[in-house]
C-alpha cells in the first residue's frame, strides 16, 4: 500500500491509498466510500482492494473531503464537493497512466459516483454500486428506512435552528448545504443516461438505504444488473458470508468488464 495526497479542482487536499499489483497493468479501480466513514469503509474496502490487487488490478481508494485524512470538516460536505473529489481521484489514476478504469461507489458515495459517471462515461469502462443512495429523499429528506425515520423531525429542526445535524453513530456533523443539495440532485434519474456495464449489490435488510430503491432503479440502466444479498445489512458488515459474497461478486464483475 502507498499513501499519497492529491488535490481536487478547488484546491482541497485529499488523501488516497494505492494498492498496486506486482505485474504491470493498465487497469485500475477507484473506490468511493460512504458518508461518516472513510477510505477503509470499516475495513471492507481494504479487503476488496487486496482481493482485486491479487487478481491483477491497481486499486485507488480515497477519503472524501472532511473525512479520514483529507482536508476539511464534515460540516462543509456537499454533494458538489464530493463529485469534484471523485473527478480528482479518477484524474489522479489517469495521471499514473492507467487507461482502463472502473469505479465503485458505496452508499452516499454511490449516489455521488452515479452523478459523476453520468457525465464522464468516456473516462470509465464499467461501474459498480454497493447499497447506493440513489434517492436522497428516501434516505435523508423524507426517509422510508428505520435509521432516520425516528429522528427525522429532530434532524430537520437541528438544520433549521443550528445549521447542522449529527448523522449516524459516528456523531459526525453535516451542514445545511449538503441537505439542500440533496434536494436538488437525483442520482436515480442519472441512471437513465448511463450505458456503462453496471452492477448494483444490495442487501434486503438494509436499514439505512432502502433495498427497494435498488430493485426499482436498476431497471433505469441500459446495461445493468442487481445482485441481491438476502437478509444482507448496509455495508455487508454484519455477516461474514455477506462480506465474502459482495467482494466475490464485485471481483467477478470487474473480471468480466475491465
Answer yes or no: is 228 within a domain.
Answer: yes
Write down the pLDDT at residue 65: 98
pLDDT for 101 equals 99
In the DSSP assignment, the letter for residue 98 is: -
Give the DSSP letter of residue 126.
Answer: E
| CA distances, 46 to each of 60, 61, 143, 157, 228 (Å) | 10, 9, 30, 37, 22
pTM above the 0.95 mark? yes
pLDDT level of residue 70 (50, 70, 90 thresholds)? very high
How far apart CA 175 and CA 97 sit, in angstroms, is 37
Q: What percent of the chain is modeled with pLDDT above 90?
A: 91
pLDDT of residue 9: 96
More confident: 63 or 145: 63
pLDDT number for residue 146: 78
pLDDT band at 147 (very low <50, low <70, confident <90, very high): confident
User: For position 231, what pLDDT does the model report?
Assistant: 94
Contact between 15 and 3 (Cβ < 8 Å)? yes
Comparing CA positions, the residue from 25, 94, 91 lying closest to residue 254 is 25
**DSSP string over 198-221:** EEEEEETT-SSS-HHHHHHHGGG-
The answer to whether residue 226 is domain-embedded is yes
Distance CA 196, CA 113 (A): 13
pLDDT at 92 over 90: yes
CA distances from 132 to 49, 154, 186, 244 (A): 19, 24, 12, 18
Whether 209 is covered by a domain: the verdict is: yes
* Section 210-226 average pLDDT: 98
Residue 205 pLDDT class (50, 70, 90 cuts): very high
β 13-19/58-62 pair status: antiparallel
Range of the domain at 39: 2-136+186-257
- Residues 11-48: pLDDT tens digits? 999 999 999 999 999 999 999 999 999 999 999 999 99
H/E segment holding residue 110: helix 108-119
Lowest average pLDDT, out of 89-98, 148-157, 186-195, goes to 148-157
Domain count, the chain: 1
Question: Domain containing 106 — which CATH number?
Answer: 3.40.50.1820
The whole-number pLDDT of residue 5 equals 98
Residue 164 lies in a domain: no
- What is the model's pLDDT at position 171? 80
171 found inside a domain:
no
Q: Does residue 193 form part of some domain? A: yes
Q: What is the pLDDT of residues 222-257, one digit of tens each?
A: 999 999 999 999 999 889 999 999 999 999 999 999
199 domain residue, yes or no: yes
Tell me which residue of 7, 3, 218, 179 sits closest to 76, measured CA to CA: 179
pLDDT score recorded for residue 190: 98
> Is the pLDDT reported for residue 170 higher than 80?
no
In a domain, 157, yes or no: no
DSSP label of 167: E
The pLDDT of 89-104, averaged and rounded, is 97
Q: Give yes or no for a contact between 17 and 3, defined as CB atoms under 8 angstroms apart.
A: yes
DSSP class of 65? T
Find the radius of gyration of the CA atoms of the chain.
Answer: 17
Round the average pLDDT of the chain to a whole number and report it: 96
Amino acid at each position: 500500500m502507498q499513501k499519497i495526497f492529491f488535490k481536487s479542482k478547488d484546491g482541497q487536499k485529499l488523501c488516497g491509498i494505492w494498492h498496486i499489483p506486482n505485474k504491470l497493468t493498465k487497469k485500475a479501480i477507484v473506490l468511493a466510500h460512504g458518508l461518516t466513514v472513510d477510505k477503509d469503509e470499516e475495513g471492507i474496502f481494504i479487503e476488496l482492494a487486496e482481493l482485486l490487487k491479487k487478481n491483477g488490478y491497481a486499486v485507488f481508494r480515497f477519503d472524501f473531503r472532511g473525512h479520514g485524512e483529507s482536508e476539511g470538516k464534515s460540516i462543509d460536505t456537499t454533494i458538489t464537493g464530493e463529485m469534484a473529489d471523485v473527478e480528482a481521484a479518477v484524474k489522479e489514476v489517469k495521471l499514473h497512466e492507467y487507461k482502463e478504469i472502473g469505479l465503485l461507489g458505496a452508499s452516499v458515495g454511490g449516489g455521488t459516483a452515479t452523478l459523476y459517471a453520468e457525465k464522464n462515461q468516456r473516462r470509465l469502462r464499467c461501474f459498480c454500486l454497493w447499497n447506493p443512495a440513489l434517492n436522497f429523499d428516501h434516505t435523508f429528506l423524507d426517509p422510508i428506512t428505520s435509521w432516520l425515520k425516528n429522528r427525522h423531525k429532530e434532524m430537520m429542526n437541528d438544520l433549521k435552528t443550528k445549521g447542522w445535524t449529527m448523522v449516524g453513530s459516528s456523531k459526525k456533523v453535516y451542514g445545511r448545504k449538503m441537505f439542500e443539495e440533496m434536494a436538488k440532485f437525483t442520482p436515480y434519474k442519472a441512471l437513465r443516461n448511463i450505458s456503462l456495464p453496471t452492477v448494483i449489490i444490495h442487501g434486503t435488510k438494509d436499514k439505512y438505504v432502502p433495498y427497494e430503491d435498488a430493485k426499482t432503479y436498476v431497471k433505469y440502466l441500459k446495461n445493468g444488473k442487481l445482485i441481491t444479498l438476502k437478509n444482507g445489512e448496509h455495508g455487508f458488515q454484519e455477516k461474514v458470508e455477506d462480506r465474502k459474497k459482495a467482494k466475490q461478486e464485485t471481483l467477478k464483475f470487474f473480471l468480466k468488464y475491465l
